[in-house]
Amino acid sequence: MQAKILDVTVKNPLCSRYPPPVSYQKFFLRCLYDCVERFGSECSDDLAKAYTDILLLQDSENSGYHSYKIDEKCTVTLQENSCFVAKSTTGLQTWEAAKYLSEWCIRNKSHFENKTILELGSGIGLLGIIILKFCNPKKYIFSDKSEEVLKLLSSNIKINFKNHVNTFVEQRQLMWADISDEEAEVISPDVILGTGTSGLSYQTLESHQKAIFIYDEFSTLMLYKIYR
């Protein structure tokens, strides 16, 4: 049983290539270790080695990969920061709202098919990557004000599309309150999206059933329609 669990977690090729944050790996292996002891079994050599190896690692960057299994065919992998605020931005980790809107978009593809989409404050990319993979837009423009966020976004896009995206994709440094009329005309989006954004006018939309991601049970998520 221990070998089976290690095969689908620590030794899983995706996990080896894109390892989760060190703190998470330590937590996971500690729990597994405790579980084995609680059942009175002996810890396998492989589990003992995995645990001691991870204990020797420092989590200096608070950074690691998160892999989101969307369905049997699609997993999205993102490099994220474990801190709520890091490098003066809140955008280096995926917010619950992005997961929630991603689910809605997968179930409502027709709003995005063959459309030019502008995402405001896109952070490190979950929503846009999912729309690109599932909703067949004509063009997708990720935007954020933070250079640090845009750097990580760019590498996350590469991870998930192996340098090859069918749709035209752009990344722009944009402040959502300062988009000029000329800039808006050049971008000319059919759809504007944003999650974890504030200070924009909105209308509340009906919720959908949460099914794909694991959410914080105490979070209250709402969908808003943004308007000028």
Ligand X SMILES: C[S@@+](CC[C@H](N)C(=O)[O-])C[C@H]1O[C@@H](n2cnc3c(N)ncnc32)[C@H](O)[C@@H]1O
CB-nearest residue to ligand X = 91
Q: How many DSSP H helices and E strands does the chain contain?
A: 8, 8
Q: Which residues bind ligand X (CB under 6 A)?
A: 89-91, 94-95, 97-98, 120-123, 144-146, 149, 174-177, 195-197
Minimum gap (Å) between residue 204 Cβ and ligand X: 18
The residue among 156 and 197 lying less far from ligand X, judged by its C-beta, is 197
The residue among 111 and 145 lying less far from ligand X, judged by its C-beta, is 145
Give dist(CA 200, CA 121) in Å, integer: 12
Give dist(CA 98, CA 123) in Å, integer: 9
Exposed, middle or buried, 95 (CB in 10 Å: 0-12/13-18/19+)? buried
The residue among 19 and 196 lying less far from ligand X, judged by its C-beta, is 196
The residue among 28 and 104 lying less far from ligand X, judged by its C-beta, is 104
Minimum gap (Å) between residue 115 Cβ and ligand X: 19
Beta carbons within 8 Å of 157's beta carbon, 6+ residues apart: 125, 129, 142, 165, 169, 171
Minimum gap (Å) between residue 79 Cβ and ligand X: 13
Minimum gap (Å) between residue 72 Cβ and ligand X: 25
The residue among 1 and 85 lying less far from ligand X, judged by its C-beta, is 85
Minimum gap (Å) between residue 211 Cβ and ligand X: 19
Beta carbons within 8 Å of 168's beta carbon, 6+ residues apart: 138, 139, 140
Pick from 226, 223, 225: which is nearest to 210 by CA? 223
Give dist(CA 84, CA 62) in Å, integer: 11
